[in-house]
Amino acid sequence: MASSDQPPSVVEDEKAGTFSWPPLESNPEVFTSYLHSIGLSPTFAIGEVFGFDEDLLAFLPQPVLGVIVCYERLIPKSDYREQDKGSAADYDKVTYYMHQSKKLDNACGIIACLQAIFNCSAIEVDKDSVLGKFQQRTLQSTPQERCEELENDTDFRTIHKTFASKGQSREITSGQNNVKHHFIAYTLSSEGKLVELDGTKLGPVVVGDCGDLLRGSIKEVMGKLERGEISESLSMMTLNFAQD
């Protein structure tokens, strides 16, 4: 999300009490409502992972179509392990990857959702919606072009701000300089590889073979925690079919 190396324009916006793309609360209800409002089919929803124990995981809707993680990073990008920096050479390992620029200050939550949704062929999107039109405009674009397209999408940004004012998101936004958490997504490639999608990295991070998206994502997140890369202040959500 926000960082100390932001450009002057973003810093000025913070002092004025606003972000171009304010932070979102890691709340499945907020994310589900947001995604439905921009065109995700009501057939799909965002769910919450209440814990990593098998007894708790057994209650989650199946199949898991995407994983979204929110955590507090404890180390700078320069200290990432080489295999965790991502690579432009791996763009073709996934259907859709996009960068996150400083202009998209705290858009990481919705960017994580876009990457999870657009990398799952089972997901249905209204082609005439904000989400559907964005997808169609950027399907053949580069990761940087997708980033720039989102920067300039005023309809998308207006809706984003509406949902950033709901629930605890408003409290998060009011503490501008205390925004420390960052959202990323995990997906499975066509080759059965677990792939981390973080728009602030050079490219997708291909983690390795994975037979279960949810459990593979949990294993990777726990590894980050054990290595001291992230704090215990984290949450995980899933993209799945909506439950009746």
Would you put residue 208 in left (φ > 0), alpha (ψ -120 to 50) or beta? left
Q: Are 160 and 60 in contact (CB under 8 A)?
A: no
Q: Can you list the alpha helix ranges (DSSP code H) found in the chain?
A: 8-15, 28-38, 54-57, 108-118, 130-138, 143-151, 154-164, 169-174, 213-226
Catalytic residue among 108, 120, 147, 210: 108
Catalytic residue among 36, 99, 160, 182: 182
Q: Is 182 a catalytic residue?
A: yes
Is the bond leading into 22 cis (omega within 30 degrees of zero)?
Answer: no
Distance CA 164, CA 112 (A): 15
Which has the closest alpha carbon to 84: 233, 208, 206? 206
Which has the closest alpha carbon to 150: 114, 183, 122, 181? 114
Which has the closest alpha carbon to 109: 240, 231, 237? 237
Rounded to the nearest angstrom, the gap between the alpha carbon of residue 178 and the centroid of all alpha carbons in its chain is: 19
> Could you list the active site residues?
108, 182
